[in-house]
């Protein structure tokens, strides 16, 4: 979860050197490292990170019927309906900080969402670069159940792979206890992986057929993966 990054106020020009504004679509199974890479891209290219998961996590905390519905959907590891998801992405990407491009983390996740993004890209005169972070299924469960987030800055930790310097507190906000996402328990993780296989994996083929797909091996150090992603973005 990245509360400060979900709606970025930073409107500095980005360092995208290759002309047209870009929509960087980070794809991959739950736990593949989309959020980790999106945060690096946001920091270094000055493009806003738009995480639909973060948007829904913020919305589900309200005391409204919609919030209750979102809590149930997310606890079951299912997808939020396309209509709502697409509307929220349209609203968010219409904001001024997206004019030079943006990073989508967790969208699209269905063929309907992908088609709507094609339309949005055409309307906004943006090009799409789709990057799939490839991680074998057997690693994903540990990545999710071991994940912890800082509730202040959204920094992403992992008790197995990237522990904080001091037990369960953020390196940058020592007053903040790290949080464990409600959907990162073993049962919901299995449901999320099944939903990914059923609804989302086919988008790899969708973007491959469109000639827009790039893949990076997601089992290396985050910095090495980032290096490949930045090269793809600058060249693509
Ligand atoms: P969302 O928040 O998008 O979750 P997700 O896709 O399941 O992805 P995650 O956030 O779990 O993982 P990630 O790939 O970002 O990995 P991270 O970088 O954190 O969605 C949550 C829910 O919202 C969905 O289930 C659905 O209900 C709803 N939703 C969201 N978008 C929707 C949409 N478009 N349509 C409908 N519903 C939607 O890394 C994971 C862990 O691994 C971390 O601990 C990290 O430190 C570690 N790690 C990362 N990279 C590495 C590495 N290279 N080596 C070792 N460890 C690493």
Task: Using CB atoms within 10 Å of the CB of residue 186, give its burial: 0 to 12 exposed, 13 to 18 middle, 19+ buried.
Answer: exposed
Q: Which of 1, 27, 30, 90 to mutate to test the pocket of ligand 1 (most atoms within 8 A of CB)?
A: 30
Q: Which of 230, 200, 228 is nearest to 216 (CA)?
A: 228
| Contact (CB, 8 A) for 234 and 16 | yes
- pLDDT digit string, tens, across residues 5-24: 333 333 343 444 456 679 99
Q: Which of 165, 192, 163, 178 is nearest to 32 (CA)?
A: 192
Amino acid 10: pLDDT: 37
CA of 156 to the centre of ligand 1 (A): 10
* Residues with a known catalytic role: 34, 109, 147, 181, 192
| Contact (CB, 8 A) for 105 and 51 | yes
Strand order in the sheet with 22-27: 49-51, 101-105, 22-27, 127-134, 213-217
pTM higher than 0.85 for the full model?
yes
> Is the predicted pLDDT of residue 2 greater than 70, yes or no?
no
**Domains in the chain: boundaries:** 20-136+200-235
Task: Using CB atoms within 10 Å of the CB of residue 139, give its burial: 0 to 12 exposed, 13 to 18 middle, 19+ buried.
Answer: middle
| CA separation, residue 74 to residues 24, 79, 195 (Å) | 25, 7, 11
Q: Which of 35, 164, 190 to mutate to test the pocket of ligand 1 (most atoms within 8 A of CB)?
A: 35
Amino acid 235: pLDDT: 87
Amino acid 21: pLDDT: 75
What number of CA atoms fall less than 13 Å from residue 220's CA on the CB side? Answer: 11
CA of 29 to the centre of ligand 1 (A): 7
| Contact (CB, 8 A) for 79 and 201 | no
How far is the C-alpha of 224 from the C-alpha of 112, rounded, in Å?
32
| Contact (CB, 8 A) for 205 and 213 | no
Would you state the CATH architecture of domain 20-136+200-235? 3-Layer(aba) Sandwich (3.40)
Atom number, ligand 1, closest to the C-alpha of residue 192: 25
> Is the predicted pLDDT of residue 77 greater than 60, yes or no?
yes
Asked if residue 196 has its Cβ within 6 Å of ligand 1, the reply is no
Asked if residue 102 has its Cβ within 6 Å of ligand 1, the reply is no
Widest CA span in the chain: 48
| Contact (CB, 8 A) for 23 and 121 | yes
What 8-state DSSP symbol labels residue 4? H
Atom number, ligand 1, closest to the C-alpha of residue 37: 18
According to DSSP, the residues that pair with 217 across neighbouring strands are: 134
SS3 content of the chain, % helix, strand, coil (to 5): 45, 15, 40
- pLDDT digit string, tens, across residues 44-75: 999 999 999 999 999 999 999 999 999 999 99
Atom number, ligand 1, closest to the C-alpha of residue 156: 46
CA of 225 to the centre of ligand 1 (A): 16
Phi/psi of residue 99, nearest 5 degrees: -65, -25
How far is the C-alpha of 154 from the C-alpha of 151, rounded, in Å?
6
C-alpha distance across the termini of the chain, in Å: 28
Q: Considering the chain, what percentage of its residues have pLDDT values greater than 90?
A: 90
């Amino acid at each position: 979860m990245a509360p400060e990054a979900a709606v970025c106020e930073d409107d500095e020009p980005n360092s995208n050197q290759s002309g047209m504004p870009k929509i960087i679509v980070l794809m991959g199974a739950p736990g593949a490292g989309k959020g980790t890479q999106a945060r690096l891209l946001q920091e270094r290219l000055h493009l806003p990170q738009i995480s639909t998961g973060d948007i829904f996590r913020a919305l589900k905390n309200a005391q409204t019927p919609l919030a209750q519905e979102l809590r149930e959907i997310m606890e079951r590891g299912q997808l939020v309906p396309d209509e709502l998801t697409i509307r929220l992405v349209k609203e968010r990407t219409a904001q001024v900080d997206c004019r030079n491009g943006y990073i989508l983390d967790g969208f699209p996740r269905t063929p309907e969402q992908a088609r709507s993004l094609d339309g949005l890209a055409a309307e906004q005169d943006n090009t799409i670069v789709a990057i799939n972070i490839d991680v074998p299924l057997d690693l994903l469960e540990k990545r999710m159940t071991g994940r912890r987030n800082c509730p202040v800055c959204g920094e992403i930790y992992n008790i197995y792979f990237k522990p904080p310097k001091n037990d369960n507190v953020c390196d940058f906000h020592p007053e903040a206890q790290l949080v464990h996402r409600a959907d990162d328990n073993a049962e919901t993780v299995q449901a999320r992986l099944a939903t990914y296989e059923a609804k989302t994996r086919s988008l790899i083929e969708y973007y491959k057929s469109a000639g827009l797909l790039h893949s990076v091996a997601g089992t290396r150090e985050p910095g090495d993966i980032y290096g490949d992603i930045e090269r793809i973005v600058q060249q693509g």
